[in-house]
Amino acid sequence: METLLDEKQLRDGVRRMARDITDHYQDRPLTIIGILTGSVVLLADMIRLLEMPLRVGVLQARSYHGATTTRGELVINDELMPDIQNREVLLVDDIFDTGYTLREVISRIKKLNPSSVLSAVLLHKEDRCEVEMAPDFVGFHIPDKFVVGYGLDYEDEYRNLPYLAALEEADLKTQ
């Protein structure tokens, strides 16, 4: 594995993104929705840096299943999400890759009538984007590599790494 971002770089990037979010929302109440499971580490670190009134919820959205590295059908489970009607909502996700997941989650969230919906992602792979949108808050722009650590996984492993690493081709099982 190749280390792309070490612990200090991640900490500094999350702080910078939290400052940008604070500057945008100021003291307005905010509902943060973490997209499971990859955002858990980012969500925990970020909410401790935000000072506005917060509500926190989660939803699960997956389009990668098992050992595959190609996108499949998106499945969204929002049963653990709080009521967001007339609330300002910030969706927090680990990575913006092709953009399909975040675009679909935003579309579904808007049907619940929040007053606003913005997005924050730890990582943005600009060269992979296939949709007409971009996240509102970004921690880091990264190259097109399969990354793990700091909440991101491969076959449910590596989420606990305190740094971000790129797996080598030999580490990836192909289908």
Q: Which domains does the chain have, with CATH numbers?
A: 2-171 (3.40.50.2020)
Average pLDDT of the residues in 70-84: 78
Task: Give the pLDDT band of residue 50 (cuts 50, 70, 90).
Answer: very high
Average pLDDT of the residues in 42-70: 83
Question: What's the mean pLDDT when you consider all of the chain?
Answer: 91
DSSP state of 122: E
Known active-site residue 12: no
Model confidence pTM above 0.85 = yes
Listing DSSP states for 62-111 in one string gives E---TT--S----EEE-TTPPP-TTSEEEEEEEEESSSHHHHHHHHHHHT
**Residues 6+ away with beta carbon under 8 Å from 79:** none
* Catalytic-role residue among 27, 45, 97, 127: 97
Instruction: Pick 90 or 128 by higher pLDDT.
Output: 90
Q: Is the pLDDT of residue 175 over 50?
A: no
**Residues 6+ away with beta carbon under 8 Å from 82:** 31, 55, 57
Which strand (E) or helix (H) includes residue 40? helix 40-47
pLDDT recorded at residue 77: 78
